[in-house]
Amino acid sequence: MSFTAPIQLPGLSLDPQWYRRAVFYEVMVRSFVDSNGDGTGDLGGLISKLDYLQWLGVDALWVPPIFTSPLRDGGYDVADYRSILPEFGTLDEFRELVTKAHERNMRVVIDLPLNHTSDQHEWFQQSRQDPEGPYGDFYVWSDTDEKWPDIRIIFTDTEDSNWAFDPVRRQFFFHRFFSHQPDLNFENPAVHEAVFDVVRFWLDLGVDGFRLDAIPYLYESDEGNGEGEPPTHEFIKALRAMVDKSYPGRVMIAEANQWPREVAAFFGSEEEPECHMAFDFPVMPRIFYALRSQRADELVAVLSETTDIPPGAGWGVFLRNHDELTLEMVSEEYRQAMYGWYAYDPRMRANVGIRRRLAPLLDNARAELELTHALLFSLPGSPFLYYGDEIGMGDNIWLPDRDSSRTPMQWTPDRNAGFSAADPGKLYLPVVQSLVFNYGHVNVESQLAQSRSLLHWVRNVIHVRKAHLVFGLGDIEVLQTDNDSVLAFVRRYQGNDAHGGIHYNDQPETVLCVFSFAHNPVAATITAPGMAGSRLYDLFGGGVFPSFDENGSLTLTMGTQSFYWLHAG
């Protein structure tokens, strides 16, 4: 497979707010390509596929943890923050990844779990053995496991308490996640110093930023629920100040699975900024809800809520990632409905969510795959793709926990889907061989050979998005429609957005985005007095559409589960 370089849009390199118009791609090193035949993906493999990612239109990689780890939580259980798990590669190879990505105008953002470490980490080993020693106070120890009963359990499938007894120190330690992942004690200033050192270490290696894993959970208190406590925000502010001062242009992305206002708190304020970006957890499940309920109202409500965020801050939007499709941000009634639609087999559930990939969730329906991607690429914020979803990869619900959707990337119909030359039995996880998603036909090579494949479609929509800065930089106004199944919003960009000394030197633009979730063709009348007389044409093919009338009313007919992106002028 060879890929010619795509046309370069104005470079991201000089723009301190590059992340606002970047397309991100989450790539698990372990799952992408195995370059040395040991059955596990590695950095060499990822480097060998940078051309593919560039061809696809990816601007930034999000790389889940690659540190030394016992891999009991996909690497989010870090045993040493300053070394790379040998089966993934070396620090030199990591440097090479950064260099080669940068040569392609692509950024590298790594995951940084700071809330907790693995119990294998040297800090924890010393802490449990020597309470009076330098690491004695690095973790949250207690003589009782009854402290903070209001702090909820996150991994409900495996944990029944946030405390675990350590037989060596003969005390309980606090853990928000697995019981092999003790929480670091942020009350201890030495922990701050250690964490700052880790951050500097990776910034010095050239990374363009961090996804701050589990960031709401740093501090606990008797009064709060351990999520977004005031000192947690103070810590993030201090981290941001250090990053801005010493490493301008690098980005901090908050993983905060919370309601919009609480998530927005992780942006901080203009005077005291925290993260540059935060994932939009509330909008994601509502996309899936709309698909099956055929109603747009939940999306209308969440998108109409005005959550003010500081200038320069941006959302990260996503459909799926390496975790379960979390249903924490929906009501119990809607959660049950979604379990019924999307996780009818109990094996498909994990914690408070669904452990399936995008294409199986959507029953491999092409219209739904297009509709969801069209939303992903036009909502306010920067889109985050999950590796393999661009070819509609399947999952394997017979594997435990979230491994169901972390199987090897499917490159070709050859042995191990072209992921690895190892004996198939040696792979870290088996490749998907299901009836519908078998790697024999769901793979990059075969989709490259079909001009109408999902892969080509996704690449095209990415390039259309990137040609219109309004999607990355514009604001949003949700419009009224007379059809419950139809969502309409307008994205507006004033042009010449100036920030950090950079002028994009581009034109103002207005784009009307309309989505029908109905399972049959429908007509919808959209009302937008501000758009009276606006003429419309399709962003993909240039086709001319009916204009808004003089009262700002427009009637459109829509095919089953279809969408329009229309330039308005």
State which residue, 76 or 123, has the beta carbon closest to ligand NOJ.
76
Count of C-beta atoms within a 10 Å radius of residue 421: 14
Decide if residue 214 touches ligand NOJ (CB under 6 A).
yes
Q: How far is the CB of 374 from ligand NOJ (least distance, A)?
A: 26
Decide if residue 183 touches ligand NOJ (CB under 6 A).
no
CA-based angle 498:502:503, to the nearest 5?
Answer: 60
Decide if residue 218 touches ligand NOJ (CB under 6 A).
no
DSSP string, 236-277: HHHHHHHHHHHSTT-EEEE---S-HHHHHGGGB-SSSB--SE
Q: How far is the CB of 242 from ligand NOJ (least distance, A)?
A: 23
Tell me which residue has its CB nearest to ligand NOJ.
76
Q: How far is the CB of 67 from ligand NOJ (least distance, A)?
A: 12
Q: Which stretch binds ligand NOJ (CB under 6 A): 15-23, 68-76, 416-424, 514-522?
A: 68-76
Q: Which stretch binds ligand NOJ (CB under 6 A): 69-77, 87-95, 128-136, 355-363?
A: 69-77
Decide if residue 177 touches ligand NOJ (CB under 6 A).
yes
State which residue, 76 or 124, has the beta carbon closest to ligand NOJ.
76
Decide if residue 216 touches ligand NOJ (CB under 6 A).
no
DSSP state of 455: H
Q: Which stretch binds ligand NOJ (CB under 6 A): 70-78, 163-171, 288-296, 484-492?
A: 70-78
Decide if residue 73 touches ligand NOJ (CB under 6 A).
yes
Binding positions for ligand NOJ, 381-400, rule CB under 6 A = none
User: What is the rounded CA–CA span in Å between residue 481 and residue 557?
Assistant: 12
Tokens (6 digits) for 370 = 């297009």
Binding positions for ligand NOJ, 289-348, rule CB under 6 A = 322-323
Decide if residue 113 touches ligand NOJ (CB under 6 A).
yes
Decide if residue 281 touches ligand NOJ (CB under 6 A).
no
Of the candidates 391, 390, 381, 443, the one whose C-alpha atom is nearest the C-alpha of residue 412 is 443
Q: How far is the CB of 98 from ligand NOJ (least distance, A)?
A: 22
Name the catalytic one among 34, 183, 213, 324. Answer: 213
Question: Exactly one of 19, 52, 76, 564 binds ligand NOJ (CB under 6 A); which one?
Answer: 76
User: What is the rounded CA–CA span in Å between residue 565 and residue 467?
Assistant: 13
Count of residues near ligand NOJ by CB under 6 A:
9
Name the catalytic one among 208, 220, 255, 370. Answer: 255
State which residue, 117 or 483, has the beta carbon closest to ligand NOJ.
117
Q: How far is the CB of 206 from ligand NOJ (least distance, A)?
A: 23
255 is catalytic: yes
Q: How far is the CB of 118 from ligand NOJ (least distance, A)?
A: 10
Exposure b/e, 526-536, CB count within 10 A at least 16 = b? bebeebeebeb
Phi and psi, residue 277, nearest 5°: -135, 160
Decide if residue 55 touches ligand NOJ (CB under 6 A).
no
Q: How far is the CB of 322 from ligand NOJ (least distance, A)?
A: 6
CA 431 to chain centre: 23
Phi and psi, residue 202, nearest 5°: -80, -30
State which residue, 159 or 506, has the beta carbon closest to ligand NOJ.
159
| Contact of 178 with 171, CB cutoff 8 Å | no
Of the candidates 78, 194, 180, 83, the one whose C-alpha atom is nearest the C-alpha of residue 128 is 180
Count of C-beta atoms within a 10 Å radius of residue 131: 14
Q: How far is the CB of 305 from ligand NOJ (least distance, A)?
A: 25
| Edge-to-edge strand ranges of the sheet holding 544-545 | 475-478, 486-493, 509-516, 563-568, 536-538, 544-545
445 is catalytic: no
Q: Are β-strands 325-326 and 314-318 bridged in parallel, bridged antiparallel, or unpaired?
A: unpaired
User: What is the rounded CA–CA span in Å between residue 300 and residue 326?
Assistant: 20
Tokens (6 digits) for 432 = 């998907």
- Strands (E) in 79-119, as ranges, are 80-84, 107-113
Show which residues are catalytic: 213, 255
Residues that bind ligand NOJ (CB under 6 A): 73-74, 76, 113, 177, 213-214, 322-323
